Homo-oligomer: A and B are copies of this chain.
């Protein structure tokens, strides 16, 4: 038996979660029986999509939090896994995982860092790729606006837009983030949404309007974007982080939806599993772009499982640039 720690949700938050909603619990994990493996997690993924599950019962109380993770097989009595295998799974937010192999994938990161499979090369990247190219039906040279553009999904979306020769506008919540977007990722225009009028700043940043608004935020951002949309514009709705910490998942009221009518705008919610069948093309494109320097990434890393609740809460207060990760010893 080995002692390990895991993060439990112990109370459902109504608004912004606090550390009081979580507990770090010590448990004993036995050795693998026949057909089982023991995984030592090395990296855990922290994602805005975890927030709605805290309130809507998809995340059980008093059980380890669901989250993406990568780890190493430290003991195996399963024919498909051997000691030392690098693996990826969705049962994160714990140090050790005893598993029958269900939902555990062996990871071969090649010459790239394994953590990329938790963001640019994982669900985060596929969300940006599918949301922009499939749901958003992006065409070369269009005008694109991405909110929360310095976040994990947003920063991939803006770079795909740039690769497709689009005039690309991004919003973010600090000057440091805006500098990264403008100076390193090469965006055409950036907006610090915490300074001045978002509506006015977006109007100035989009003199030729917006063809695709990739929405991660909802609320005030969507309200400002709708009057700027060009005819036949598309709004893929990836997330509405502004609504996640409001009871009933209600965002700030969007008052400008009537702009959709005469301009024949389409707004469409999507979920990453829609794009599963294009994963091979996605990986091929993304690995190429990473290697030729056109796809950059940042990681914001917190150390140790004790910091996992703080990492999750930090997503909603803007603590991360790029992907928020928790590193385990």
Contacts and interface: CB of A to CB of B under 8 A. Distances in A.
A268 B237 CA distance: 13
Contact of A259 (B249, B255, B274): B249
A270 interface: yes
A271 to B, nearest CB: 6
A202 to B, nearest CB: 15
Contact of A270 (B261, B269, B270): B261
Interface string A222-261: 1000000000000001111001100011111111111111
A124 B304 CA distance: 63
A267 interface: yes
Nearest to A260: B269
A264 interface: yes
A146 interface: no
A262 B271 contact: yes
Interface residues of A, number: 34
Contacts of A253: 252-255
B250 A255 contact: yes
B258 A243 contact: yes
Contacts of A218: 257-258
Given A267-B267, A267-B268, A237 B261 contact: yes
B240 A251 contact: no
Contacts of A259: 249, 269
Contacts of A271: 261-262, 264
A263 interface: yes
Interface string A170-214: 000000000000000000000000000000000000000000000
Interface of A: 52, 218, 222, 237-240, 243-244, 248-271, 274
13 contacts: A52-B258, A237-B260, A240-B258, A243-B257, A243-B258, A249-B258, A250-B258, A251-B255, A253-B253, A263-B269, A265-B268, A266-B267, A267-B267
